[in-house]
Structure formats: C-alpha cells, structure tokens
Amino acid sequence: MPGKGVPRCSDPEVPLAQTGDMLRRFGHIATLLAFTLVQLPIMLVTGVMLLLSFALGMVFLFPPQVGMVRRLAEFNRRLVRRQTGIDIASPYLPAPAPPVPQPDGMYRSERTLYKTPRIPAWNNRWKWLVSDPATWRDELWLLLDPPVKIALVPLFVLLPARGLRLYGLWSELLLAPTAASLLAGQVTHLRRTRNLAADSQAAEMRRIERDLHDGTQARIVAIGMTLGAVEQLVEDDPKAARALLAKARDASSETLTELRRVIRGIHPPVLAERGLADAIRALAMDSVMRVSVDVELEHRPESPVEAAVYFAVSELLSNAARHGDARTASVDISGNGPDLRVTVTDDGLGGADPAKGSGLAGIERRLAAFDGVLALNSPLGGPTTVTMLLPNVLPGHSAGGTRGMPRWKTVTVILLWGTAWCPTFPQGIVAGVFKAFGIEEKAWFLPLYLPEPWQWPVIVAMTLVGLLMHVMAIRIPATHDPDRYMEEASVLKPWCS
C-alpha cells in the first residue's frame, strides 16, 4: 500500500505537474521562435552594415554592427541558460587597454604619432573586433540560427525537452568561448593575480622592514649605547657597570624574542617542520582567546598554500582579539575533493568591513594568488564568520573520477554516430559527385529526384547537416568531461599521426 503523502498515478497533482512542465517547455519554444522574428530584421540590417563596412569602406559602421550582433548573441545565451541549463560563458577577447602617452606626450599607433588618443583607441578597438574569432562566430550564428530552429520544429513538437537540449548544444557550438578567448582570459587573470601577489609581497616586505626598524634595530642600538656606558663605568663604578650589564642582558633577551617573532612572521619554523594543522594549533595556544581547532585533511597542501592559510588565520584571530574583543574563536579546516575550505568564527562585536583597513583586503590578496575567495558574515553585535575557499589546491585528486554522461547524452551520441554518415556521404558528397559528373543513375540519392533548381541546395544542405551531426557527436562528450577527453585525444594522437 503506498505510503502516506506519496503521490500516485491517480493523484491529480501528478498530471498537473507534468502538464505544467509541458506548458513551460512549449513556452520556451514559443519564445525561441518569437526571437526568430527579431533576428530576421536585425540580420538584414547588420548584413547591410557589414557589406557597407568592407565593400564601400564605411568602416565606422563595423563597431556598432558587431555590438548589435553581440547583444543579440548574449541575449540568446541567457535564453539557453534559462531554458536548458547550459551555461554558455562570454567568449570575447578582453578589450584593449586605453592608449598610453609616450614621454613626449604623443600617442603611437603602428608607425604614426597622434596628439590625442582618439585615433589610436579607434585603431585598437577595430583590430580587437576584427581579430576576435568570436566576432565571426556570432555572425555565422546569426545567419544559421533561424533555419536551424525551423529545422528543429518537428522535434520541438514531438520531443520538446530533447529539442530544447539539442538547440542548447547547437548554440553552445557557435557561441561558447573559443580556445583563444579562454587563453586570453587566463592570461588576463594571471596578470591581475600576479599584480595582487606582488602588491601583497611588497606590503609584507614593508611590514617586516618597519618591525625591524622600529623594534629590533632600536633595541640593538640601545644595547650598544648601554655597553658603551659600561666601558666608561667599569673602572670608576663597577657596581653601576654591573647594573647596566644586567639591563643589556635583559634587553638582548627581549630583542631575541622580538626577532623570533619577526622570523615567525616571515615563515614560522613549525609550519615548515610539522605542517598546517600543528602550526594553527600553536597559533591558537599563543592567542589570548580560547581557540578550538579542527583540521581534517587527508593530504598536506603545498608550502605556499599552507603559508597563505596560516597568515590568513593569524590575521583573523588577531583582528578578533584586538578589534572585536572576542573571547572565544574556532578554526575549521577541511578538504572537499581538491578544494580547501577554512572557516574562522569568533564571538566578538562584529561589524568587520574590508573597506575599513581591518586586514581583510590583505587576506583577499593572499588568496587571489590561488584563485581563492573570502566570504564574510559579521553583523553588528557578532558573531563574525569568515569562510575562505581555495579551489584545486589539495594534492591526491585527479580528474579520473568525473561522473559519466547521462543516458540521454550517451544515446544521442550513439544515434549521431550511427546516422551522420547518411546525409554526409550518400545524400551529400556522393550525390554531389553524381551530379557534377552527370551520372544518370539516381539510385537512392534523394536530392537527384528533386527538380533541377533544388538539387544543389539540397546536396549542400545534406552535407552540412551530416558534418554538423559529426561535430555534435564529438562535442557532446568533449564538453561533458574536457580533461578526460583531451587526455584520451593525446593518447590517440601518436596512432593517428
């Protein structure tokens, strides 16, 4: 007997939910088809603008034409994301930086100098738009998207979910980031991360220099002056000389303690010798607060990662005691696959704000070197919780455990490989050969049975459809698990060559 509250086939909620899903899918399909009515006039306008730009030299029309097509493509990416769940990232290369004047105040573009940055900026923008592969992929998508949607109408009607998914894959094929844009984005990110790391290192060097100058150096100078006074008193007033030597001995001990503190600020020995867990526990023992530490890591992170986490936790505990009047705190460090997660909580006054110079901006700079992020929750009155996530920093994990493709993807790939040969070869390439050489035998080449004006367009269309099916059959597994796909491709490359 069915359990209480479990929906049965006879329950009205089940068909209502299914009907709602079906209506929602048809609503998505209606939106896509209505979007075609917007694409067609824009396609005409942008086509004329593109023709005028390159045929008649009206190059000033090209940037607005590209901007119009990019806005249309970006809207389609949002539609696909909302309707199919396929997230298509922006594929465009980073925009060029503004022109920088030379020492003489002139701006250079190629071999020409200009007094203002307007023309160099225009030239840089023109080259950026023309050389970006995503620009021409967008143009191709705008040209082919309406006929593709029209061709998918039968699938939209019979299997709307599969039709939407197939359209999402088609959009991803042309609108997803290219290898060049991905590489350029990574270079930009690395350049920004390098600058942040350099700024953080410079700030650390200034702090160490300040600590040595204001603390250790001043104490050493004082010890030297005391010893000089001892030299003068050692014969005339031995008792006073002994008192000064005792002060010098105490000062040297304090100087040694402070110097060790500075050394720990550079890289604590316990961190290098015993690892992150014991270093954090030692930090907790030295804190004025009661600090509980929970560390669950199967593998020890790399030394730079350990140092970044150690100093971040040290700064957070110092802030909690100094600015938040906290009495207790907890540190939780755990791994989630290759990701490292650190959570620091205290019972202080709260109200922490990175913009107020509380050291949180410095922590963010440290984490940025490892693509790490910081999340802060610090309401007035407390408690304060800081969560730091560093992705892909724990060793011992590989991409081999990636989840396999869903059954529908596997079936789709099998069907594509099993049927793509038909439009590509017999109905496309072979029919084209028969048509070109005037072979009268029509056999089962369907385009040759059509009226004469339709034969070549259908042959070309069949060939393109077959090639598209081959591309989809390759791209579906490649986008599902790119690391594994590239690894297999690298293994097969020597055999193929």
Quick one: 173 and 231 in the same domain?
no
List Cβ neighbours of 248 (8 Å cut-off, separation of 6 or more): 223, 226, 227, 230
Question: What's the pLDDT at 485?
Answer: 43
SS3 330: strand
The DSSP 8-state label assigned to residue 342 in this structure reads E
Strands 112-114 and 373-377 come out as unpaired
Name the domain boundary from 122, 143, 177: 177
Consecutive H or E run containing 389: strand 384-390
- Cα distance between residue 123 and residue 120, in whole Å: 5
331 torsion bin: left (phi>0), alpha (psi -120 to 50), beta (else): beta
Quick one: 17 and 152 in the same domain?
yes
Quick one: 390 and 426 in the same domain?
no
SS3 103: coil
- Cα distance between residue 447 and residue 426, in whole Å: 10
- Cα distance between residue 247 and residue 296, in whole Å: 47
Quick one: 225 and 353 in the same domain?
no
- Cα distance between residue 275 and residue 92, in whole Å: 42
Question: What's the pLDDT at 50?
Answer: 84
CATH number for the domain that contains residue 378: 3.30.565.10
Quick one: 298 and 358 in the same domain?
yes
SS3 496: helix
In a domain, 311, yes or no: yes
- Cα distance between residue 119 and residue 115, in whole Å: 9
Cα 199–chain centre separation: 22
In a domain, 490, yes or no: no
Please list, residue by residue across 302-315, b when 16 or more beta carbons sit within 10 angstroms of its beta carbon and e when fewer do. Answer: eeebbbbbbbbbbb
In a domain, 5, yes or no: no
Question: What's the pLDDT at 348?
Answer: 86
Consecutive H or E run containing 494: helix 482-496
Q: Please tell me the least confidently modeled range out of 68-72, 110-114, 117-121, 414-418.
A: 110-114
Quick one: 147 and 290 in the same domain?
no
In a domain, 17, yes or no: yes
Tell me the two tokens of residue 150. Answer: 């029209």
SS3 295: strand
- Measuring CA to CA, which residue among 48, 125, 46, 122 is closest to residue 92? 125
- Cα distance between residue 269 and residue 281, in whole Å: 14
- Model pTM above 0.85: no
Q: Which amino acid is at 247?
A: K
Of all residues in the chain, what percent carry a pLDDT higher than 70? 82
Tell me the two tokens of residue 407. Answer: 């059954």
Residue 456 is part of which domain span?
A: 405-482
Name the domain boundary from 152, 177, 202: 177
Please, which residues bridge with residue 290 across strands? 328
pLDDT band at 65 (very low <50, low <70, confident <90, very high): very high
The total domain count for the chain is 4
Quick one: 320 and 352 in the same domain?
yes
Question: What's the pLDDT at 13?
Answer: 53
Question: What's the pLDDT at 83?
Answer: 85
> Which tops the pLDDT comparison, 40 or 24?
40
In a domain, 7, yes or no: no
Quick one: 289 and 366 in the same domain?
yes
Question: What's the pLDDT at 112?
Answer: 79
User: Residue 1 above 60 pLDDT?
Assistant: no
Q: Please tell me the least confidently modeled range out of 62-66, 84-88, 260-264.
A: 260-264
Report the chain's mean pLDDT, rounded to a whole number. Answer: 79
Q: Per the omega criterion (within 30 degrees of 0), is the bond before 383 cis?
A: yes
- Cα distance between residue 121 and residue 252, in whole Å: 62
In a domain, 102, yes or no: no
Question: What's the pLDDT at 216?
Answer: 73
Name the domain boundary from 342, 374, 396: 396
Quick one: 253 and 317 in the same domain?
no
Q: DSSP states of 403-414 as a string?
A: PPPPHHHHHHHH
Quick one: 137 and 236 in the same domain?
no
Q: Residue 402 — φ and ψ, nearest 5°? A: -65, 140
Q: Are 230 and 248 in contact (CB under 8 A)?
A: yes
User: Residue 55 above 70 pLDDT?
Assistant: yes
User: Residue 252 above 70 pLDDT?
Assistant: yes
Q: 455-496, pLDDT tens digit by residue?
A: 888 888 888 888 888 778 777 776 665 444 444 444 333 333
User: Residue 228 above 50 pLDDT?
Assistant: yes
Angle (nearest 5°) at CA 149 between 144 and 154: 140
- Measuring CA to CA, which residue among 308, 429, 322 is closest to residue 362? 308
Quick one: 20 and 157 in the same domain?
yes
- Cα distance between residue 95 and residue 127, in whole Å: 10
User: Residue 344 above 90 pLDDT?
Assistant: yes
C-alpha neighbours within 13 Å on the C-beta side of residue 364: 14
Quick one: 321 and 422 in the same domain?
no
Cα 6–chain centre separation: 41
Q: 367-412, pLDDT tens digit by residue?
A: 877 888 888 888 888 788 999 998 888 876 543 344 566 777 788 8
Strands 290-296 and 328-336 come out as parallel
Q: Are 342 and 333 in contact (CB under 8 A)?
A: yes
In a domain, 99, yes or no: no
In a domain, 493, yes or no: no
